Amino acid sequence: MTTRLARPGTRRPRRRALELSTGLLAAALGAFTACRTPEEYRADADQAAYTILTQRREALGFVDRPFSLDPKPGSLRERVLDGELAGVGPLSLTQCLDVAAENSRDFQDQRETLFLSALDLTLERWAFETQYGAGLAGLLTGTGSADNASLSASGGLTRALGTGAKLVSDLGLTLAHDLVAGDGWNLTSDLSFALTQPLLRGAGESIVMEPLTQAERNVVYAVREYERFRRRFAIDVAGRFYRLLQQADTVANEESNYANLQLLRERNEALAQAGRLSDIQVDQALQDELRSRNRLIDARQSLQSSRDDFKVFLGLPISLDIALDGGELVRLSESEPGDVAYEESLVLALALEQRLDYRIAVDRRDDAERKLAVAADALRAGLGLATSANVRSEAGQPLDFDLENVQWEVGLDLDLPIDRIAERNAYRESLISREQRRRDVDELGDTIQADLRQELGDTRTNLEAWRIQKNAVALAERRVESTRLNLDAGRAATRDLLEAQEALLEAQNAATQALIDFQLAKLALWRDLEIVRVEDQGIEIEPALEQRLVRSEP
């Protein structure tokens, strides 16, 4: 049997080198992975995005409320789900606006869309910033047993320039050890530098910076769309709120009518038992009472269904009992709105100036022009300049570079535009896209003007309808009172009073509907003129802009 003895000093250095390299690598990896936590990265991303959004919103004049992606703690929905609340109300319109902004799923979707646009911009900006990198590596090689060990560290930077140039620089350090020979550790370093610059295709700031330019504009679009959504959402909340008040008023009118018909039926039954009234008139009153009760049941069910829909819209649990402030309807009915004195030509001109969606359409038309220029540039020949240099230090003399032995190269790379089918198609698509964006602007402008003409007419028509129905209610009330007196005096029949009360009910419901229709038509007109502001006090309009809708007297 032959026993192979290890050479003195061989196994121990190998083990020591292995332990050293493994320990250094583990320590380096631990240090890098422990640098920042996911929560810190999230906070960093939030700060970058919020800074962009604050700047853009201020530049565009939207600074009424600070923007935040995260919902407020202790929201109404959370308090209900936690069992703290079983019901709320009565809610005013302003309170409903706050609840909707706090709990609405659609509103949260819009916040997230806006935030993501800013996050995308941070990535595009980063692409044109100096990017740093560093790394560590450990390597152990051998045949059968370990022969060589090495540790390497590198650090570098990359920078993309607006001209299309790309600069790359790297510094590396390598620590090597021959485990078999038992020599000491040798440290060497190398420094490299590379620069590429397109001279034809892909050169120029307008071409190179297009992704960043588009990302910047996308944030502007997202801010406008978010503000437009806030305004339209507020009008939507108001519309649903007022329609619920209308339905509640209908239920109240039906309840009052049903109570009056009950009294009439009881009166007729008493008179019939005394032989002073025929059974026909008793049955007439009873039949109208039954019809009224059926309408009342339907009206209550419709109101409950609409309330549930409203709770879903607000993002509230269905189980929550809510009540609305009926005083809002009283205040509307007691107010006496003046005539809508807006000049049509001024309305149309202001709309094209103020409408955020129209501004977006115009800007997207400009985007299409820029993309067409980029597509045309892709059809050109490619000519690139490439330079690089590398220098290495002697073993054991790190960072002591011999500048007389720098390895370098300079080259040109020419790509002739021989096969450009994909680029040709992209260019043709860009031409079509430009024409589409132009048509979009024209179509949206025409649609805006047509809608506003309709809404302006609806506002005036509904105002006149409300005035008519208001007089109709007063007339119907006098008719009911007069018919009741004549019925008591024996100069009128039951059918006369039933018809008078039915006319009163119809007039009351029609008047409320006309009032709500007028209010919503006015809000829709303001909304589509983009003169609405959503304040802490509720929905308001900008007085200076409204003044521009009225022609000054000469």
Output the CATH code of domain 212-367+432-547: 1.20.1600.10
**What is the spatial distance between Cα 89 and Cα 323, in angstroms, rounded to a whole number?**
5
Q: What is the pLDDT of residues 159-172, one digit of tens each?
A: 999 999 999 999 88
Cβ proximity of 355 and 224 under 8 Å: no
Q: What is the pLDDT of residues 449-471, one digit of tens each?
A: 999 999 999 999 999 999 999 99
Q: What are phi and psi of 420, to 5 degrees?
A: -130, 45
> pLDDT class for 65, splitting at 50, 70, 90?
confident
Q: Higher-confidence residue: 187 or 505?
A: 505
The Cα-based distances of 406 to 191, 385, 391, 396 in angstroms read 10, 19, 5, 18
pLDDT reported for residue 437: 97
Work out the average pLDDT over 25-45: 71
pLDDT reported for residue 81: 67
**What is the spatial distance between Cα 217 and Cα 360, in angstroms, rounded to a whole number?**
9
Residue spans of the domains in the chain: they are 11-69+110-127, 135-198+382-415, 212-367+432-547
Cβ proximity of 483 and 492 under 8 Å: yes
Q: What is the pLDDT of residues 526-540, one digit of tens each?
A: 999 999 888 877 888
> pLDDT class for 316, splitting at 50, 70, 90?
confident
**What is the spatial distance between Cα 177 and Cα 167, in angstroms, rounded to a whole number?**
33
**What is the spatial distance between Cα 540 and Cα 526, in angstroms, rounded to a whole number?**
9
> pLDDT class for 3, splitting at 50, 70, 90?
very low
**What is the spatial distance between Cα 290 and Cα 264, in angstroms, rounded to a whole number?**
13
Alpha-carbon torsion (242, 244, 247, 253), positive or negative: negative
Residue (of 542, 534, 549) closest to 238 by Cα position: 534
The Cα-based distances of 161 to 120, 124, 125, 208, 401 in angstroms read 19, 13, 12, 8, 28
Mean pLDDT is lowest, of 111-125, 275-289, 510-524, for 275-289
Q: Higher-confidence residue: 32 or 178?
A: 178
pLDDT reported for residue 539: 87
Q: Higher-confidence residue: 395 or 393?
A: 393
Work out the average pLDDT over 507-520: 95
| Mean pLDDT rounded to a whole number for the chain | 87
Q: Higher-confidence residue: 212 or 144?
A: 212
Res 23 pLDDT > 50:
no
Alpha-carbon torsion (300, 306, 310, 312), positive or negative: positive
The Cα-based distances of 367 to 126, 228, 430, 499 in angstroms read 22, 21, 10, 65
pLDDT reported for residue 157: 94
- What pTM does this model have? 0.83
Give the 3-state secondary structure of residue 49.
helix
The Cα-based distances of 109 to 80, 122, 183, 246, 275 in angstroms read 22, 20, 65, 30, 71
Res 74 pLDDT > 70:
no
Mean pLDDT is lowest, of 76-80, 113-117, 541-545, for 76-80
- What is the percent of the chain where pLDDT is above 90? 58
In DSSP terms, 145 is beta-bridged to 143
Q: What is the pLDDT of residues 11-20, one digit of tens each?
A: 444 444 344 4
Q: Which two tokens stand for residue 24?
A: 């250094």
Q: What are phi and psi of 140, to 5 degrees?
A: -130, 120
Query: Could you check whether the bond before residue 90 is cis, i.e. omega within 30 degrees of 0?
Result: yes
Res 27 pLDDT > 70:
no
Work out the average pLDDT over 26-43: 69
Alpha-carbon torsion (508, 514, 517, 518), positive or negative: negative
Res 354 pLDDT > 80:
yes
Res 494 pLDDT > 90:
no
Q: Higher-confidence residue: 395 or 410?
A: 410
pLDDT reported for residue 147: 75
